[in-house]
Chains A and B, each alone.
Chain A
Amino acid sequence: MANIQEKIAKLFPEAVCEQFDTLQVTIPDSRWHDLAVALKEDPDLCYDYLITIVGMDWKTSMGCVYYMMSTTRGNDVIAVKVLATGDREMPMIHSVYDVWAVATLYEREVYDFFGIVFVNNPDMRRLFLNIDWIGYPLRKDYNDDPNINPATTRSERQSDFTQSWVEEPDGRIVKTEPRIFAEDDFVVNIGPQHPSTHGVLRFRTAVDGETIKKIDVYMGYIHRGVEKLSEKLTYQQTLPFMDRLDYFSAHNYHHGLCRLIERAAGITISRRAEVIRVMMDELSRIASHCLFMGTFCMDLGATSMLFYTLRVREQILDIMERTCGARMTFNYDCIGGVMQDLDSNFQQDVKDLLAVIPANIKEYNKVFVGNVIAKQRMEGIGHLSKEDAIAYGVTGPSGRASGWSCDLRKIRPYSIYPELEFDEVLATEGDAMARFKVRLEEIVQSARILEQLVDNIPEGEYCVKVPKVLKLPVGHWWEMVEGCRGVFGLYLESDGSTQPYRLKIAPPCLPAAGVVDHITRGMKIADLIAIGGSLDYIIPDMDR
């Protein structure tokens, strides 16, 4: 870490480096773009994966915290804090969309929530909220009077234009309004109510015959404002939201937030609780991948597959239900451990599950993977290269299918993962077939983890005593865990009260949706469905 600090200090004398849980560099906006280029291009730094952009409103000033990871050099994380210039009417930061492709989308998100304008970003529309939304909801002085922005049945105003603030060579900033689609494009609306968008996502698709020319991803149809809601709740009360983001990774997300809060509050949990958490994580991973296979095959038209994969999922849900008391929204991990002890039959149930998994995997391979039509529909479709996967921040099984080793359980091990024996599943093809196969193989690896743990659950208390209302010291923390769909990042800032000052959720599905346009160009409409299915995004996770 020290030499990175030196290197940055040498290149940018005005940068201030501080060491929190990650190295944090503070840089004025005027030098930010240069620093971004250096961070990405310099062989000693090489931070090529932008994890997220945390928009911040510190009441007196506004700004962003960028979290980046280096994929080639030890997977270390660095934070860069940039304060916005200009007043609260129109704060501005220079865009880094040309450095990290995924920034285009993240900057739109920050603009939507905080009103920070990113200069030079070609597409500065709102992301989740209506064009005519009044105010920026995550600002601290946002007026949430329902009469200002009422829920109305009036059709949303649509625009064929986007907006962009461009810096002229003489330093003036000019607002432009470029067109999204060419004037004579045939634009088909796929979604928001469409059977294969897996929820309410909308693709404005410009097509030429059946060939896709451009896709404008339009989200926000299930944006529930979880981040803002959390700011009014105690730390314990923010936990149940994690179930409802990516409802398949409920345990993993809980695990992440609990780890973050426990680290901030200095709580150590028992080993029994750790083991239980990891087992639940892996069980949800199997259940999630099972459902993925089912819905993906259904998208391709092979409806029957869904019924075969759901069999295993139901079995896992039974195990969960006996211990957690619910089928989907478990709220099981809590600060200090887990909510209740394991069911007395848990071990036997897991063993029963492990006994049927190999036969099922074989069946899935037989029914679907070897199928000629399935091969034709998946092989070579939606090719995503490793470089693009990193640039667009596509993590999880989709990223690993492109050959990017991005499994946090391996590269930045947390909890008890370092002690466990399992392989990171990697493929190099980067197409829909690879994404499918990686998930299939991950089920096997998760089963391997469960096998090692099922007989080795240590005795001990399942939850340590934690005050009912938790107070965190002033500060900010960053945590990442591996959800079922990729890197799930959490940023927490506390002002010393019982409620989080800012809780930023960096979901894995948002970049997955962002890459759709890039990899569907020139493909057929039917391929869009296959690609969307294989990226396996969950809309509530993306929209939050």
Chain B
Amino acid sequence: MILTDITETLNFANVTSAIDNLLEQTWGLPSWAATTIECVLVGVGLLLVYALLALFYILYERKICAYIQCRVGPVRVGPWGLLQSFADMFKILIKELIDLKNVDKFLFALAPYLVIIASMMAFAVLPWGRGLQIIDFNIGIFFLVAVSSIGVLGILLAGWSSANKFTLIGAMRSGAQMVSYELSIGLSVLTMVCLSGTMSITGIVEGQNRLWYLFQGHIPAIIAFVIYLIAATAETNRGPFDLPEAESELTAGYHTEYSGIHFGFFYLAEYLNLFVVSGVASLLFLGGWQPLHIPGWEGFNDVMNHVPSIVWFLIKCFVISYIIIWFKWTFPRLRIDSLLKLEWKYLLPINLFNLVLMAMIIFCGWTL
């Protein structure tokens, strides 16, 4: 039974319980103190991973974009340009925060924090690996969808409070876009929840132990996956759906007036949202941190089990992000009316039909 052995060693729950033991039993701390320390540790760890991932993503996109455009991309700062985004971060941190006249100062300052908090909260519930998850709700996926849409509030506030016509148009576009595509995301998630029968994130991941949901649910799952990818690209305001910050139309869209670290927050949140939607896609369709299993191929499955679960999760995220970045550097931007038409006239009816189809397939037991 190599299989169980290896997954046991790679289970991150061992580490967390070891820390818990160390605090409570070896050091003899009261449980409230232990919990507080653990919370702080988790928080610090989360922030660190958040920042590092965002910086990595910035470089990742710049490299992919360079590759698509026959260029080399950043190469001079650090080996292979790896430190480029660190340099950018140092610079953004010390840039001046411009104090503007005529803006609603409180809302203007609040907006970037709302955006970054929303993406951070969504980030927190992602299942990173076996046992590596901060909190396991029974409505985890619901929570994820809910908090990730707080971000639009930040964008609307940013656009409105800047007292600038471009930002206002950007924010209005963003509002219309987010509200519409939230539907598609919700419905395609619902389709998958139908299949899994649970909203708990652990439950969803465990359910894909044998086979990923993308294959289990075959036709409706694939339709849901495609719709999810489109809607997720729109949710993260990335090309070809980057209307709220359409550079060639609206200068820099809703964050035109932001400078320094406030702009940095929007910038980081954009990339982190990309990671979050990729994470959700891999969680719902590609088995989260579950390795690739093909029923019947015992030897293959065994080899796959030797890859740590966190590596699986990250690889899946990066691949999906790659596809989304690929979209951006390939397609021209949509126009606002065709953007809304796409959602309300095509994606939504298809999605509703797909939900019924999925329910029927589950009812008849035609899942793989």
Interface residues of A (CB under 8 A from B): 186, 188-189, 194-196, 210, 297-304, 307-308, 311, 368, 371, 373-374, 376-377, 524-527, 529
- How near does chain B come to A375, taking the closest CB pair, in angstroms? 10
- Name 11 interchain pairs, CB-CB below 8 A, sorted by A: A195-B248, A300-B248, A301-B239, A301-B331, A302-B330, A302-B331, A311-B70, A371-B331, A526-B243, A526-B336, A529-B249
Query: Across chains A and B, which 5 residue pairs bring their CB atoms closest together, nearest first?
Result: A301-B333, A196-B248, A300-B332, A307-B69, A302-B332
Check A525–B330 contact: CB distance below 8 A: no
A376 touches B249 (CB 8 A): no
Q: Given the known inter-chain contacts A195-B247, A529-B248, A529-B249, please indicate yes or no for A376 contacting B338, CB distance below 8 A.
A: yes
> In the complex, A195→B243 CA distance in Å?
15
Across the interface, name the chain A residue whose C-beta is closest to B69: A307
Residue of A with least CB distance to B165:
A188
B335 in contact (CB, < 8 A): yes
How many residues on chain B are close to A (CB under 8 Å)?
28
Q: Is the beta-carbon distance between B71 and A526 smaller than 8 angstroms?
A: no
Asked if B248 and A298 sit within 8 Å, CB to CB, the answer is yes
Interface of A, secondary structure class, is helix
Decide: A307 near B239, CB < 8 A? Known: A300-B332, A301-B248: no
A307 touching B249 in the complex, CB below 8 Å, given contacts A376-B338, A526-B336: no
Complex Cα gap A303–B330 (Å): 8
> Which residues from A are CB-within-8-Å of B332?
297, 300-302, 368, 371, 373-374, 377
B137-172 residues at the A interface, CB under 8 angstroms = 165-166, 169
Contacts of B338 in A (CB 8 A): 373, 376
Q: Which residues of B contact A307 (CB under 8 A)?
A: 69-71
CA distance A145 to B109 in the complex (A): 49
The minimal Cβ–Cβ distance linking B260 to chain A, given in whole angstroms, is 20
Return A312 CB to nearest CB of chain B, in Å.
Answer: 12
Cβ contact within 8 Å between B337 and A524: yes
Instruction: Please name all residues of chain B whose beta carbon is closer than 8 Å to the beta carbon of A308 when the two chains form the complex.
Output: 69-70
A195-B247, A196-B248 known; A210 vs B169 contact (CB < 8 Å): yes
A245 to chain B, nearest CB (A): 25
A376 touches B335 (CB 8 A): yes
Residues of A close to B329: CB separation below 8 A: 303-304
Least CB distance from A334 to B in Å reads 37
Q: Which of B240, B248, B331, B337 has the most CB of A within 10 A?
A: B248
| Contacting residues of chain B (218-248) with chain A, CB-CB under 8 angstroms | 239-240, 242-243, 246-248
Contact residues in A for B331 (Cβ distance below 8 Å)? 301-302, 371, 373
A308 CA / B69 CA spacing, docked (Å): 7
Task: Indicate if the CB atoms of B334 and A376 lie closer than 8 Å.
Answer: yes
B68 at the interface (CB under 8 A from A): yes
Residues of A within 8 A of B243 (CB): 526
A180 CB to closest chain B CB (Å) equals 17
Within 8 A of A (CB), among B56-104: 65, 68-71
CA of A297 to CA of B334 in the docked complex: distance in angstroms?
A: 12
Q: In the bound complex, do residue A525 and residue B334 qualify as a contact, i.e. CB atoms below 8 Å apart?
A: no
